[in-house]
Structure 1
Amino acid sequence: MKKLILLILLISFSATFAQFDTTQVTETYGMNRKVIDLTGKWKVSYDEGDTWSVQHVPSTSYENKTLLYKKTITLSKADLANRTFHLEVNGISDNGEFYVNNQFLGSYFGGMTQFWVDLPESSLKVGDNELKIKVNPTEGYARQIQQLPMHATRAASGIIRKIDLISTAGAWVSGISSSYKLADGNTSASLKIKGAITTGQNGSVKGNVTVKTYLKNKEGQYEIGTSSMNVSNSRVYNFESKGIVNSPKLWSPDEPNLYSIVVKVIKGGSVIDQSEISIGFKDVTIVSSDNGNGFLLNGQPFKIQSVNYVDDINGQGQSLSDVQYEKDIREIKKLGANAIRVKFGLPHPYLIDLCNRYGLLVLYELPVYNTPTSILNSDEIKVRIKNIADRILTTIDNSPCIFSYGLYSYSSEGQNQTKSYTEDILAIMNKYTNNLVHKTIYSGSDYPNIKGYDFLIYNFKHKTFDFNKQLVRLKELQQNSGSLPIVCELGTTVQKHNKNGYADKLSLEFQAYYLLNSYSVFKSANLAGYTIDTYNDYLLQQPTMINNSDDKYVYTSGLVDRQRNERAAFKAVKSIFNKEKEPLLTAGSDPAGDQTIVFIITGIFFGLVFLMMINRFKRFREYFFRSVLRPYNFYADIRDQRLISAIQTSVLALLVSVSTASFIAATFYYLRFNDTLEYFLNIIVPIQIIKENLFTMVWSPALLILVMSLIIVLYILLLAAFLRVAAFVLSVRLFFKDAFTLATWALIPTLLLLPVSAFMIKIFEQMENGYLLIFLILVVVKIWSALRLFKSSAVVFDKPRGKVYLTELVIILVFVGIPLLIMQLDRSIVDYVLYIYSVMV
């Protein structure tokens, strides 16, 4: 009986690997790899080496400056004997210069990718060796695409992931890649393996070596192919093996069956180097039907259930430990997810290994978000993304968990807008990977460019609570996307400790309510899946307005916070993904209530003040109507020094200031959940502390009206100073009091903004794109006021209009153009504003 069982097992094994030589050969292990983990204490300098401090490495630095790292490594004579050394770098930002014992090894692009640095044999010595690494931050467009995307994670620099010192024999496996093709019915797989052997400089491994390739799983290890080669110093030798795997066990999130490819370098019967990678066999197919487009995984219908994952945790920043990665993956599996979508960074190799083992597909986004096409198509960005794609495809593409690569997120969808970039990156993808390719687009992209893509991820560009309206847009996108499946991105932000119930749109309960209801409504669209934004909270590069949080630099869209405490939304998503009973949620109330009454009271009060001035003060009434109906005569009075009350002018300045301030405050308040407005303000306002305070005051309209009124008064004083400068240039005598009078009365059209702000809520309630009308009103009022200001100065200066206008335009260009030019050079402000207008508005 035992012999029969043994015979059945042998037949089973031989059937699985029928095309491979199953002869087991015993080999002696000699000079195999040795790994020295360099994690620990390093000396770090933030000032080009003037001062040094001891810090733990890897770690996350948020300093946008060059960092120097030093570490002493002690090696014995036995460590160095016939060995070649390499540094395995798992993630630095952005590029590094490497030195050993003051010998320059080279400059390497990092970009958070994994790469090796080969050390010359002569660079190391017996005893203490100093390793120095100079890490430079991103620059130019690379810095902009890292720091300026909407809700981008905080830009980190330095040695963020661990570095290992690896010693090998003089010949080592320097690369392994695999590809396969499944037969019909997945009954077998044609497997092709390619790799490279590299030799060092010392000549310790010279002559004939044998390279053996094996396929290994739980049942055993079996030889695929053997190559012999005659090697010499400092060369690279390629090898290739092929085989057929019968009845392969397929990889899926439910059954993550893994195989390993093992490559051994043998000399004189002894294994001198060995390398191993994990692979798996899976079959992904896109299907189209009347019920919607979707995926088949290993022949079975499959819906993406994903969470967006961002490398960040309280206390560690982006330098997550292996233990923390595994905790996160276990929790995500408990959630019922079958995929993660890696955003704002490159996946750690260990994270990919965990996804292989636990069964989670990976949707990886190339780090290109909210990028203007002028930057996207630049050579600098295309070369950078090509380098990242090349590194990614050579390090993780073999992993069965890799599902797709996202070429870009939230860019313009015009037919030729992204053509240059898309064609270049797609060419790399099509050549080196069989995995899918996708992109992420905003709602409102009626005619997305779908050529070359396998599916789309759809994101709502404005935080909206009208699910049915978004469902209509979603179905319109489906009609314009041909046979491409659509995955929907869902998420909303919260106040971290808000437990007021889902009546409060910033509460923890509302986040759960939002996800449950949006999923319920969108089910009728038969989407190919969902990705939840995000699994965890993370630090931001730019402050956020939309969640009214005390900490403006934490994006609180996570199902768990930065400390990994679960929120109500975690249970809600778990019920969605696992088809469990929905959690009960408390309705509660919104204690802040609706503060629109502030604008109504402000409009009524200051409207009455204006009417009182008109009715009670005859001179004011005359001045007002003359300035509107007969502006030339009014400005001539100022020129001729006819008395105009300074008190009445000051009251008018107050009314103008409050009208403008109330209009701005009302607009911001009604759009306080609008991430496009938040993004626009982050782009055009360069000073962080101003944005932080502005985003706080947006939620307190009365305070914002007060502060903005003071700012508008200062603005009027600056206009008066501007007129004094123009008068000086034109050799005209103009007192500051008269300049202030001129500036104030020129701004009379802004009084129209007061009643608009009082009843702005009606505009937003009645019009879907009410903000466009609001913007149009503001533009008309500002142009009218500017024309009045130009005309008044020409009359008062008593100079030809052309000369006055030209002088004032030159002064404006100097005072406005220079800061604008600086911001354009620093952050491409014009490109980003045009992007916001064309893509997000």
Structure 2
Amino acid sequence: MNSTKFLFLFLFFLLSNSLFSQIKIKEIELDSIFEDSLYLNISESRPIIPLVKNWEVFNPESPETKTTVNIPSNFSNIEELTFNKKVRINSSDLLKHDLKIFFNGINYASEVLFNDVSLYKHFGGEIPFEVMIPNDIIKLNEENLITVKVFHNLSSDETIPVKQRFLFPANRGGILKESFIQFIPKFHINNPKFKNSVNVEKSSAVVEVKFDLINSRSKKSNPITNLRADLKITEINGNFTQTTTVNLNQNIKSAEISSQLNGIKLWDISNPVNYKAEIIIRNDSTIFDSYSSLLSFYQLKKDEDKFLLNNFLFSFKGTTYFVNDKENFNLVSLEQLREDLQKIKSLGFNSVRFSKAITNNYLLKLCSEIGLFAFVELPINSIPDEIISSSAFIERSEGIANKYIEQISQFPSVAALGIGSSFLYKSEAQKSFIKKIANQLNQSSNLYLYASFKNYDLFEVNEIDLIGVELFDADLSSFNQFVKDNPTLKNKIFISEATYPAYNGSTNGYLNNYSFEAQAKYFEEIIQLSEDNDLLGFFINSMFDYHGDFASLSTGYNDENLYQIGIVREDRIVNTIASQVIASKLTDSERVTIPLGSKSDDSPMMYIIIGVVLSLIMALLFNSKRKFREDATRALLRPYNFYADIRDHRILSGLHATILMLILSAAMSLFLSSLLFYFKDSKFIEQILLSFGSENLISLYGYLAWNPIEGLIYLFVISVILVLLTSAVIKLASFFIKTKVFYSSIFFMVIWSSLPLAILLPLILVLYRILAAEVINLYILIFIGIYFLWLFQRLIKGIYVIFDVNRVAVYFYAFVFMFLIFGSFVFFYQLNYSTFYYIKNSLMQFGII
């Protein structure tokens, strides 16, 4: 990354959003989705008008600037866009039909208008919704205007997901999935609910369906005679067909049909047989309406401490998957989705966890076809107690959960529904939230419920069926011992995500941390641990590398915000050593040997070289210049007298002061760069920076930490600027006293007060190596903190000496000034981003409080 990137980040952090005024819109082709009649429930009685081509898009603040796009499309660098499309409705279309408009995914919030009449306001991200269009606002035989106002402004406490998102896939606003108008018969099926019970031994099943019948036909219409309802079950790609018929009364409002099926084929991971269930409302001469749904017949039940699939022992062996593309972010083609899931299946996985996002319906359909169980969940992650316990957040979560249940209930591949992730078992507020949402979901769904926790301990939440444990480069021996010590928890525990970054790429062996080889070794041990302890299952995080909105430290910083944690790289080529190891373990094929290698040293030699050079320059200056040596000795040992000499304009060398400023600035930049480089992949630092909700802040930190050479240069420049800026601030303060103080005097005082930094040079040049040894780190950090307090005390002493005022007053005003600066900072970030709630939650996650 060149210097332009750093300057861009630095200026952007200072100038906020003013640099990004250009709207970016991406789009992909999705025409083939309308050929899938079962997925979209298209039939002769329910034709559709695809709403794909030629949407007019504009910023509502400048409506004169318009562009034309196709959907699905997403946008960035703006919080609101308006989509307009004109559609023609013929009068003949409304004789036997009403109109309903479908949106299968809009992010985040939206308002739908038809001919400028508001139909619906949607909140809750990509959950599908549908809206009936009143006949009295439809213009017949002419163009009608569909308007969709899309809002995308994630909040720290008012949206799900929230703004602060750890390793979430990129979240872009837009109309992200298929949209269409469907013609609904005036006499039609509404709200069908399918339920089936399977007898594995007899290869039989009972299918029950309950549905409402809506009749909006004119009262002058002819009465319907011999009304019947058929339930037709057909094996997809097979020969089985069975139809059950019941007679209906014309005035009936609801109905139910039960069908006994014998000789069915059971759905299984290795043989995913699916069926189509179709409800047909008809009489002797006319089909009034039909409605189709996907069915799969299997029995997945939890028996004490294990799962049984069709009476065979079963454990979940899965990976996480994120809908993500390098160029289009959360827009991915249907072909790519299918290929991705097929690659997951090819490695031997039997399950997929769709975490941190509302799941794409098409993925759930693909899971049924390919033979994968789906774990889906609410995109709730790392929410502070103060927010998660609020009635507004709970109510919002309950609303989204209810809609989510309606969405996923039609897909038989869904095995479990998650309430969220990165919960804390020590937090009563978070456990209370889980219980409330679980109690609600248990009333409306028979799915297994789970919650994923950041850490583990002896605890239980009775309202959920499964407890997920997240292991991010964790000590597996400790977790293994925990499981062995608490065998009663085995009936609930599964590894919900095992993460190991591989940002160091290919090396000579797994002794090199965060290499491809080390990642393969870690995943191999995860699988072995799960098998040895008979856990309910595991999910490796994730199948592919993916991009996010925030730069990441813990997964390897890069300017593309690529999270390098996947089994396979983002190019989707399945040839990594991790994929080979996993495939060999899950398919019982030939064992793959992972090379041991030798551990390499990542310590930058330039730290030592620059530190030695600075030390030599300082020693040369001290020993060759008597005046400098005397000034340095007095400044260090008798600072009061030295500052008094500055105040009284005793002769000081401006050249010496300037050289000293450059040396001390270089020493400070070397010190800061060493610290940043040591903490470059710190999960804790990443979580703290995320708490501020600023993409630019964490990018700036990541750039400085992961690019030590460039970081040294820019930190040096910043250090010099801070010396000049500090001098200027103190000069402004001098206007409030009677004594006239020259800028040069202040400048000399600021420089010489920092002289003790030169004494630290021997420590600074080996600081990274000392920290990397991880033996006395706590003591080193405490010592550094005390040392910098001493530097601050020397600066304050210099101010009250050259100002010739009472020291108490200077200390008082210095603390008032810092309090105002810090208080303004706190107020702004807490008010806008709930920052300190998130910092507190991060401290709890890492066991600090």
Please state which band the TM-score falls in when normalised by the shorter chain.
Answer: 0.7 to 0.9
Does the 8 Å CA contact 1:490/1:531 hold for their aligned counterparts? yes
Residue 65 of structure 2 aligns with an amino acid whose one-letter code is T
CA distance in 1, matches of 2:618, 2:535: 56
Does the 8 Å CA contact 2:647/2:802 hold for their aligned counterparts? yes
Residue 90 of structure 2 aligns with an amino acid whose one-letter code is S
For residue 799 of structure 2, what is the aligned residue in structure 1? 793
For residue 734 of structure 1, what is the aligned residue in structure 2? 741
Structure 1 counterpart SS, 2:680: coil
Match for residue 653 of structure 1 among 646, 661, 673: 661
Match for residue 335 of structure 2 among 313, 316, 323: 323
CA distance in 2, matches of 1:414, 1:511: 30
**Residue 223, structure 1, aligned to residue 244, structure 2:** yes
CA distance in 2, matches of 1:498, 1:813: 49
Does the 8 Å CA contact 1:84/1:119 hold for their aligned counterparts? yes
**Residue 456, structure 1, aligned to residue 462, structure 2:** no
CA deviation after TM superposition for structure 1 residue 191, in Å: 5.7
Match for residue 302 of structure 1 among 314, 322, 325: 314
**Residue 392, structure 1, aligned to residue 404, structure 2:** yes
For residue 781 of structure 1, what is the aligned residue in structure 2? 787
For residue 313 of structure 1, what is the aligned residue in structure 2? 325
For residue 35 of structure 1, what is the aligned residue in structure 2? 48
Stretch moving more, 304-313 or 805-814: 805-814
CA deviation after TM superposition for structure 1 residue 801, in Å: 3.9
For residue 110 of structure 2, what is the aligned residue in structure 1? 96
Residue 788 of structure 1 aligns with an amino acid whose one-letter code is R
Q: How many residues align?
A: 795
**Residue 744, structure 1, aligned to residue 751, structure 2:** yes
**Residue 767, structure 1, aligned to residue 774, structure 2:** yes
For residue 20 of structure 1, what is the aligned residue in structure 2? none
CA deviation after TM superposition for structure 1 residue 402, in Å: 1.0
CA distance in 2, matches of 1:725, 1:519: 64
For residue 839 of structure 1, what is the aligned residue in structure 2? 845
Does the 8 Å CA contact 2:170/2:329 hold for their aligned counterparts? no
RMSD of equivalent CA atoms: 3.7
After TM superposition, the score normalised by the length of structure 2 is: 0.83
How do residues 377-416 of structure 1 correspond to structure 2 at under 5 angstroms? 377-416=389-428
CA distance in 2, matches of 1:594, 1:823: 36
Does the 8 Å CA contact 2:115/2:144 hold for their aligned counterparts? yes
**Residue 717, structure 1, aligned to residue 738, structure 2:** no
CA deviation after TM superposition for structure 1 residue 187, in Å: 7.8
Residue 244 of structure 2 aligns with an amino acid whose one-letter code is E
For residue 577 of structure 1, what is the aligned residue in structure 2? 586
Structure 1 counterpart SS, 2:191: strand
For residue 108 of structure 1, what is the aligned residue in structure 2? 122
CA distance in 2, matches of 1:821, 1:567: 50
Spell out, residue by residue over 1:590-637, the C-alpha distance to the aligned partner (whole angstroms, 9 max, x if none). Answer: 9x9633433333333333444455555565555555555554444444
Structure 1 counterpart SS, 2:356: coil
How do residues 182-193 of structure 1 correspond to structure 2 at under 5 angstroms? 193=209
Structure 2 counterpart SS, 1:409: coil
CA deviation after TM superposition for structure 1 residue 51, in Å: 1.9
CA deviation after TM superposition for structure 1 residue 746, in Å: 3.7
CA distance in 2, matches of 1:205, 1:66: 46
**Residue 442, structure 1, aligned to residue 448, structure 2:** no
Does the 8 Å CA contact 1:46/1:68 hold for their aligned counterparts? yes
Does the 8 Å CA contact 1:407/1:425 hold for their aligned counterparts? yes
Residue 758 of structure 1 aligns with an amino acid whose one-letter code is L
CA distance in 2, matches of 1:39, 1:755: 66
For residue 145 of structure 2, what is the aligned residue in structure 1? 130
CA deviation after TM superposition for structure 1 residue 99, in Å: 2.0
Residue 490 of structure 1 aligns with an amino acid whose one-letter code is A
CA distance in 2, matches of 1:729, 1:449: 63
CA deviation after TM superposition for structure 1 residue 55, in Å: 1.2
CA deviation after TM superposition for structure 1 residue 432, in Å: 1.4
Does the 8 Å CA contact 2:800/2:810 hold for their aligned counterparts? yes
Residues 31 and 665 (structure 1), Cα distance of their counterparts in 2 relative to 1, 3 Å cut: closer
CA distance in 1, matches of 2:381, 2:335: 30
CA deviation after TM superposition for structure 1 residue 134, in Å: 1.3
CA deviation after TM superposition for structure 1 residue 353, in Å: 1.2
Match for residue 417 of structure 1 among 426, 429, 432: 429
Does the 8 Å CA contact 1:31/1:271 hold for their aligned counterparts? no
Structure 2 counterpart SS, 1:821: helix
**Residue 85, structure 1, aligned to residue 93, structure 2:** no
Does the 8 Å CA contact 2:322/2:355 hold for their aligned counterparts? yes
Spell out, residue by residue over 1:754-774, the C-alpha distance to the aligned partner (whole angstroms, 9 max, x if none). Answer: 444434455445537x66555
Residues 781 and 145 (structure 1), Cα distance of their counterparts in 2 relative to 1, 3 Å cut: farther
Does the 8 Å CA contact 2:160/2:397 hold for their aligned counterparts? no
Spell out, residue by residue over 1:539-571, the C-alpha distance to the aligned partner (whole angstroms, 9 max, x if none). Answer: 210123456565432223334444433341333
For residue 536 of structure 2, what is the aligned residue in structure 1? 528
How do residues 491-506 of structure 1 correspond to structure 2 at under 5 angstroms? 491-494=499-502
CA distance in 2, matches of 1:177, 1:524: 41
For residue 36 of structure 2, what is the aligned residue in structure 1? none
For residue 541 of structure 1, what is the aligned residue in structure 2? 549
CA distance in 2, matches of 1:186, 1:373: 50
Structure 2 counterpart SS, 1:96: strand
CA deviation after TM superposition for structure 1 residue 655, in Å: 4.1
CA deviation after TM superposition for structure 1 residue 408, in Å: 1.9
Match for residue 338 of structure 1 among 346, 350, 357: 350
Stretch moving more, 177-186 or 83-92: 177-186
Residues 251 and 206 (structure 1), Cα distance of their counterparts in 2 relative to 1, 3 Å cut: farther
Structure 1 counterpart SS, 2:147: strand
Residue 455 of structure 1 aligns with an amino acid whose one-letter code is L
Residues 222 and 520 (structure 1), Cα distance of their counterparts in 2 relative to 1, 3 Å cut: same
Residue 468 of structure 2 aligns with an amino acid whose one-letter code is I
CA deviation after TM superposition for structure 1 residue 203, in Å: 5.7
For residue 45 of structure 1, what is the aligned residue in structure 2? 58
CA distance in 2, matches of 1:693, 1:645: 37
For residue 552 of structure 1, what is the aligned residue in structure 2? 560
Does the 8 Å CA contact 1:63/1:157 hold for their aligned counterparts? no
CA distance in 1, matches of 2:691, 2:682: 15
Spell out, residue by residue over 1:311-360, the C-alpha distance to the aligned partner (whole angstroms, 9 max, x if none). Answer: 12345442333333222222222222111111232122221111122211
CA deviation after TM superposition for structure 1 residue 523, in Å: 5.2
**Residue 359, structure 1, aligned to residue 371, structure 2:** yes
Structure 1 counterpart SS, 2:428: coil
CA deviation after TM superposition for structure 1 residue 654, in Å: 3.5
Does the 8 Å CA contact 1:250/1:280 hold for their aligned counterparts? yes
CA distance in 1, matches of 2:670, 2:756: 14
Structure 2 counterpart SS, 1:460: strand
CA deviation after TM superposition for structure 1 residue 214, in Å: 2.5
Spell out, residue by residue over 1:109-130, the C-alpha distance to the aligned partner (whole angstroms, 9 max, x if none). Answer: 3510111111001222123222
Structure 1 counterpart SS, 2:102: strand
Stretch moving more, 326-335 or 249-258: 249-258
After TM superposition, the score normalised by the length of structure 1 is: 0.84
Stretch moving more, 507-516 or 788-797: 507-516
For residue 707 of structure 1, what is the aligned residue in structure 2? 714
CA distance in 2, matches of 1:696, 1:506: 19
CA distance in 2, matches of 1:530, 1:744: 57
CA distance in 2, matches of 1:447, 1:613: 62
How do residues 65-214 of structure 1 correspond to structure 2 at under 5 angstroms? 65-124=79-138, 125-140=140-155, 141-142=157-158, 145-179=161-195, 193-200=209-216, 212=229, 214=231
Stretch moving more, 487-496 or 129-138: 487-496
How do residues 591-740 of structure 1 correspond to structure 2 at under 5 angstroms? 594-616=602-624, 620=628, 624=632, 627=635, 630-684=638-692, 686=694, 688=696, 691-692=698-699, 694-730=701-737, 732-740=739-747
CA distance in 1, matches of 2:303, 2:801: 73
Residue 735 of structure 2 aligns with an amino acid whose one-letter code is F
CA distance in 1, matches of 2:769, 2:705: 19
Structure 2 unaligned spans of 5+: 1-41
Stretch moving more, 549-558 or 162-171: 549-558
CA deviation after TM superposition for structure 1 residue 263, in Å: 3.1
CA deviation after TM superposition for structure 1 residue 83, in Å: 1.2
Structure 2 counterpart SS, 1:313: coil
Does the 8 Å CA contact 1:43/1:70 hold for their aligned counterparts? yes
